[in-house]
Amino acid sequence: MMELTVSGGVRFCDGYTRREMLQVGALGAMGLSLPQLLHQLAHAKSRRAQARSVIILFLSGGPSHLDTFDMKPDAPEEIRGTFRPISTKVPGLHICEHFPRTSRLADRLVVIRSMHHTSGNHPAASYWMMTGSPIARPAPQSVTLSREDRPHLGSVLAKFLGARRRGVPAYVTVPELISPVGPPRPGQHAGFLGAAYDPYRVDSDPNLPDYSPGELRLTAELDAGRLQARRSLLEAVNRQAQVLADADNVAGLDPYLAQAFDLVTSAAAQSAFDIEREPPAVRDRYGRHTFGQSVLLARRLIEAGVRLVQVNWVRHDNGKGGQGYDSHRDHLAWCEKELFPPTDAAFASLLEDLEARGLLEETLVVLMGEFGRTPRFNSNAGRDHWPQCFTVVLAGGGLPGGIVYGASDRIGAFPTAQPVTPQDLFATIYHRLGLDPEALIYDQQGRPYHLAQGQPISALL
């Protein structure tokens, strides 16, 4: 192979540097053919990370696209409801009147109006939207977390990219996992990747006076000296356990414990999780409610170097948060009073602050739920589950703003242009982060899986 000398080093006639060809040689030892290796290099060279971090605002229950970002003002009232569309900064893009602050930021948004999948079941649909893949377990078994499952997006980023700064977790969920009627639902942890890539769970409401980030706080009974002594003991036990594990070809002790020790002694983590450091006026702007303060905490965590934060809209049937975005009854009144004002305040404040701090360009914000709501109201003045067509809103992460991608029919029932699956959405997100959607991860039996089995949305690359 002829080589050419260019500034910056030797480049072969096919365009690869000596360093890259050495990588090919190293990878070849792993059993890949030369064409496969060159394919991998070509894809790696064409991908440049345009986003470094992700914030997912998960509106648990399923927000109505028809009453938010894909309104149908010309449809009959039993379809469109009573909310009115308002103009935004983007000509031709109208959104609900109850999102006035978001409307002024529309030039930062990508509104995907053609999302769709096939599951109207909350746990299965949430899993699909958080892992990018349909759940393999049958319905009666698919309502709880399992190590057989695919990993959450945050766990994948924790494995491939890690935290952006030392001393903070890579993946955090705020304020709690989604568990409206029982145990936490599937798709919210690392699944078969293992506990080392599970999220750090706050499990506390940052809007309450007794908010605490949990494990991060040292107590009077456990000061730094005693903690370090315990860590030394753990490391000694771990070393012995690993010797036994290697001999028996089994896993050693939980690797999450070492990370937990690091977090407890990290000044950066202590500061990032301390929402009391925010000025009262800033906290007011996000909204003095669970969602608003959770989104503010997410901004603080991203600033501190966390790779991905998921903020869940809290809902518990007959408990805190009530039906949340699962508005099967009194839909319009519930949206106007309980759902839309807090969402608008928190979402708009987040985008404003990220931009003011120079972080929006590198932070991909995803506003979504597990599915949409039915075009027609039910007998209880509610809207029911509708996965056949719904909306996801993106912002930041280097994306061009002021875009509406895809379209739905006249009543918002089905996509009519540029349909997008969760697999496509995940492939797009991975691409924005500089990861190859075709990269492989392996389950506990060594079976390979692509990160995403969809196609990146070319208009958003």
Q: In the chain, which stretches have pLDDT less than 50? A: 1-32, 36, 39-42, 44-46, 218-222, 227, 247, 249-253
| 32 and 154 in a common domain | no
Q: Please check whether residues 39 and 59 belong to one and the same domain.
A: no
How many structural domains does the chain have?
3
Please give the pLDDT value at position 240: 59
Residue 361's alpha-carbon distances to 20, 23, 459, in angstroms, are 29, 31, 17
Q: Do residues 172 and 30 both lie within one domain?
A: no
pLDDT at 371: 98
**Could you tell me if 201 and 233 lie in one domain?**
no
Q: What is the pLDDT of residue 441?
A: 97
| CATH code, 77 | 3.40.720.10
In this structure, the answer to whether residues 308 and 418 fall within a common structural domain is yes
CA distance 89 to 96: 14
Same domain, 103 and 220: no
Q: What is the pLDDT of residue 279?
A: 98
- pLDDT per residue as tens digits for the range 379-399: 999 999 999 999 999 999 999
Measure the CA–CA gap between 238 and 139, rounded to whole angstroms: 38
Instruction: Report residue 279 as tokens.
Output: 């000025």
For 324-354, how does the pLDDT look when each residue is reduced to its tens digit (9 = 90+)? 999 999 999 999 999 999 999 999 999 999 9
This prediction's pTM: 0.84
Q: Which two tokens stand for residue 394?
A: 């993106």
| 257/402 same-domain check | no
Q: Which pLDDT belongs to residue 26?
A: 42
State whether 296 and 346 are in the same domain: yes
Based on the domain organization, do 320 and 421 belong to the same domain?
Answer: yes
Of 225, 255, 272, which one is at a domain's C-terminal end? 272
Structural contact between residues 282 and 187, judged by C-beta atoms closer than 8 angstroms: no
What's residue 18's pLDDT? 44
Gyration radius (Cα) of the chain, Å: 23
169 and 121 within one domain:
yes
> Quick one: 252 and 123 in the same domain?
no
227 and 258 in a single domain? The answer is yes
Domain range enclosing 23: 1-46
